Structure 1
Amino acid sequence: MDRDTFREWSRRAADWGVDYRDGVRDRPVRAQVQPGSIAALIPDAPPEGAESMEAIFADFEAKILPGMTHWQHPRFFAYFPANAAPVSVVAEYLVSAMAAQCMLWQTSPAATELEVRVVDWMRQALGLPDGFAGVIQDSASTATLAAVLTMRERALDWKGNSAGLAGQPRLRVYCSEHVHTSIDRAIWISGIGEDNLVRIPTSGPLRGMDAARLEAAVAADRAAGMIPAGIIACIGGTSVGGTDDVNPVADVAARNGLYLHVDAAWAGSAMICPEFRHYWHGAERADSIVFNPHKWLGAQFDCSIQFLRDPESLVKTLAIKPEYLKTHGKDGIINFSEWSVPLGRRFRALKLWFLLRAHGLEGLRKMIRDHVSWARRHCERIRATRGFEIVSEPMLSLYSFRHIAGDDRDLDMHNLSLVEKINADGRIYVTQTRVDGRVAIRFQVGQFETTTADVDFAYDVITEIAGSLN
């Protein structure tokens, strides 16, 4: 591709992106295809010769686009959002064009220094105290893995990386029943093992872990010759927003010398609004915190911030410094590859910088406040509608409900059928979960361009399709 062709197709791709976002509301939210249907359109073998960009782009629109679920659709009420504010997309154009490998300060000084600055901007925006440093990881899964590796090393007096886990006492990590599966994966990959992830029963309207039971579990494990290593607290769990009361959990961590990691991947964005910070009182006592600006805040994936009280512990756990990665003649610099599992790093800070400047904190606060308000209103409308019951009350902009068939049909199968029919209809997109062993339908408001009319429309679709099942 020569420079003129590169210019032409760069412009056409940008124009396509604008047109796509303008028209995404008219598309079905979830891909309306069957498994294998897209693969059947792609040749089995790679092309031997070059093909024209016209042909490639035409195939993209004809064969790939129909198989895409539209996460930027304003009627996406499933999972948690993966927002990409338009200004963030523009920043990603620039990042892709430069294609810098930002693993060390010297490989792109601006990338490192901007990351330091915008992470501190976010610390201030969330109301966290001075003393926290941070790094932009690719996802909360990686940030949690880094935290688990650090708690492992600290518990083993920094000998795990060198000596391995064989012959060591069993390590134990504690969490609630509502944590994300990324915690399970971190436990697997770290070598601690699923059997050593202790799930503490939850209670109360926010389904937080019981601190007394947590302390009893730690004491019992220590008495049995095991090594309690750390606690993972949850703010806004994926299923129904399960949220731990962090202060009592932090008390247990402090009394027992345990590393405390707080997973606020989704809900952390809401902490830019002071009125929501009661949900994570005590988070400032954690050793590390993760939240994802690429979920609710509008920074295009991937962009996950891990705040650290003691970055040196993380660096001691993860840093490898061969000669070819040293920056000679410079002191006091940060090489963020030493703060993360992968060596390679994208220039993630640029999109966050663009986003914060283009919208300002007040613009982002208004969006989050609207989403919370609209979700709560939607919950009350469903509550007041015959044939529905609320399963979990709103946690920020997430709640869950169930439809009652009114006859002897199996309610779990009935609600799974309702979810599938809603999603096959294509006008909105929701997901299911299980609460106390029973199927419930999750509803969360969070897409960057959702309006109050979209939320009202979702109520109409849900009640219409539920009525058709009766």
Structure 2
Amino acid sequence: MENQNYHMSPEQFRTEGKKIIDWIADYYENIEKYPVLSQVKPGEIISSLPNHPPQKGESMEQMMQDIDEKIMPGITHWQSPNFFAYFPSNTSFPSILGDLVSSGLGVQGMIWATSPAATEVETRVLDWLAEMMGMPEKFKSTSSGGGVIQDTASTSALTAVIAARERATQYESNKTGVRQKLVAYISTQTHSSLEKAIKMAGIGKDNLRLIDVDETFAMLPEVLESQIQKDKKDGLQPFFICGALGTTSSNAMDPLREIGEIANKENCWFHIDAAMSGTAMVCPEFRHLMDGVELADSYCFNPHKWMFTNFDCDVFWVANRNELINTFSILPEYLKNKATESGAVFDYRDWHVQLGRRFRSLKLWFVIRHYGVEGLQFHIRKHVELTRTFTNWINESDDFELVVEPPLNLVCFRHKSGDDFNMKLMNAINETGKLFFTHTKLNDQIVLRMSIGQTNTEEEHVKAAWEMIVAKAKEFSL
């Protein structure tokens, strides 16, 4: 049989890799030429792709041609400076390069021994972040807790719920199954990932209490307290409470100190979900929003939302790492090694659901080292300032109204002409491809959302967006 080698050689990789770096740079230089929201119809992309895989390998030139002609029409451009939908999922060139190095090394960092650097860089970088954001000492690796990178805040929520379940049952649930009298508490505005976590952990949706919110859509502590006492009277066991540092729908800030005090008094695990807004804690002037954080058992935020770090990268801090390790630790024979047995290292596969793990901390390391604390603060403050500018335009308008005062970088507003008008307005603008924004429902009304946090968004983009919204609204009103 003829000796064949189908691999790409280092020299070929060098040549093609440089072309792809150029392609990415060109993409960012021309990103505003693309419609922000993909304009394709369902099935359009898949119908352009062959039904069967190629029998013989194809050239990179052919593949990149298909990227341009078949893939790019189906991309919604999250990195566009005119992307104002959902929440930021921003990235930056340092992050992309860090991720490239991670991919190139191809590390599987499940335990310390499989690549010590993958573990120790992660530990150091998350301690850096704890310092940068004014987090309590207990969340650092040098204390009782520490940080670990998860894929998303949803996985952090599941991790926290399972650890809370085990603490509440003295680790019996891991042995004999879930006791159905456990009850968890979130607000009506808390992200749906918490409900999913409660289902996946075997607690059950019927054992999840949704607590009412105030006029700013923040959880009402007195309602939480009342519900807990009712459940205890009914023979149930409260075990988990989640507070939001910025809800997805409206960026509402729960009163963390009051919730935390209730959680501590009732021996409930207190988890804080700061998915997007946590990044703002790099700026000292916003840290009043996390008053009470020292009462938390766990806390997560997403650098992949607003810290210029590409998806996926969620930081999960815990106050007592032993509670995680006791919940998730397994040690099959093939993973036994001297370093683990010494107890001198972290094996991060024992800190979360998945066993295998990428070298995600490299991209975060690149970002922090490139921008520095000052650079990150500069861009976060700029986004908040742009949000305030947009808010002022709404307040000066006769046709639009602000629904809730924005604490950071999300503006919730609406046209005064009603729900149908607002949906028609948003859809018509999004269909132009010039910008993309989304809606939510608050107080049973359709509310438009402008999330301002993309890496390259400047005042000119925000101004153009507002002018287009105003112009289209006038056009519909005629």
Q: How many angstroms does 1:310 deviate by?
A: 0.3
Q: How many angstroms does 1:327 deviate by?
A: 2.1
Gaps of 5+ in 2: 1-7, 140-145
* Counterpart check, 1:191 vs 2:199: no
Q: Alignment partner of 1:394: what SS?
A: coil
Where does residue 408 of structure 1 map in the other structure?
none
Letter in 2 for 1:371: H
Letter in 1 for 2:190: V
* Counterpart check, 1:144 vs 2:144: no
Task: Give matches, 1:73-84, under 5 Å.
Answer: 73-84=80-91
8 Å CA contact 1:240–1:395 kept in 2: the answer is no
8 Å CA contact 1:169–1:227 kept in 2: the answer is no
8 Å CA contact 2:160–2:298 kept in 1: the answer is yes
Aligned-partner Cα distance in 2 for 1:413–1:33: 24
Where does residue 416 of structure 1 map in the other structure?
423
Task: Give matches, 1:185-264, under 5 Å.
Answer: 185-205=196-216, 207-264=217-274
Letter in 2 for 1:141: S
8 Å CA contact 2:413–2:447 kept in 1: the answer is yes
Q: Alignment partner of 1:241: what SS?
A: coil
Aligned-partner Cα distance in 1 for 2:193–2:277: 16
Where does residue 13 of structure 2 map in the other structure?
6
Q: How many angstroms does 1:329 deviate by?
A: 5.0
Where does residue 399 of structure 2 map in the other structure?
387
Task: Give matches, 1:285-304, under 5 Å.
Answer: 285-304=295-314
Q: Alignment partner of 1:209: what SS?
A: coil
Task: Give matches, 1:81-160, under 5 Å.
Answer: 81-132=88-139, 133-160=146-173
CA deviation vs aligned residue, 1:366-395 (integer Å, no higher than 9, x gap)? 111111111111011022122111112212
Gaps of 5+ in 1: 406-410
8 Å CA contact 2:339–2:345 kept in 1: the answer is no
Aligned-partner Cα distance in 2 for 1:425–1:161: 53
8 Å CA contact 2:195–2:205 kept in 1: the answer is yes
8 Å CA contact 2:112–2:339 kept in 1: the answer is no
CA deviation vs aligned residue, 1:293-343 (integer Å, no higher than 9, x gap)? 111011111111011100110111111111112222552111111111011
* Counterpart check, 1:374 vs 2:356: no
Relative to the length of structure 1, the TM-score reads 0.96
Paired positions, count: 462
Aligned-partner Cα distance in 2 for 1:245–1:21: 40
Aligned-partner Cα distance in 2 for 1:44–1:188: 37
Where does residue 448 of structure 2 map in the other structure?
441
* Counterpart check, 1:69 vs 2:82: no
- Judge which range, 324-333 or 262-271, deviates more: 324-333
Where does residue 323 of structure 2 map in the other structure?
313
CA deviation vs aligned residue, 1:67-117 (integer Å, no higher than 9, x gap)? 101111011111111111111001111111111111111111011000000
8 Å CA contact 1:253–1:260 kept in 2: the answer is yes
Aligned-partner Cα distance in 1 for 2:398–2:246: 29
8 Å CA contact 1:427–1:461 kept in 2: the answer is no
Relative to the length of structure 2, the TM-score reads 0.95
Q: Alignment partner of 1:202: what SS?
A: coil
Percent identity of equivalent pairs: 40
8 Å CA contact 2:136–2:293 kept in 1: the answer is no
Aligned-partner Cα distance in 2 for 1:20–1:100: 28
Task: Give matches, 1:16-31, under 5 Å.
Answer: 16-31=23-38
Q: 1:31 to 1:169 in 2, by over 3 A?
A: closer
Q: Alignment partner of 1:395: what SS?
A: coil
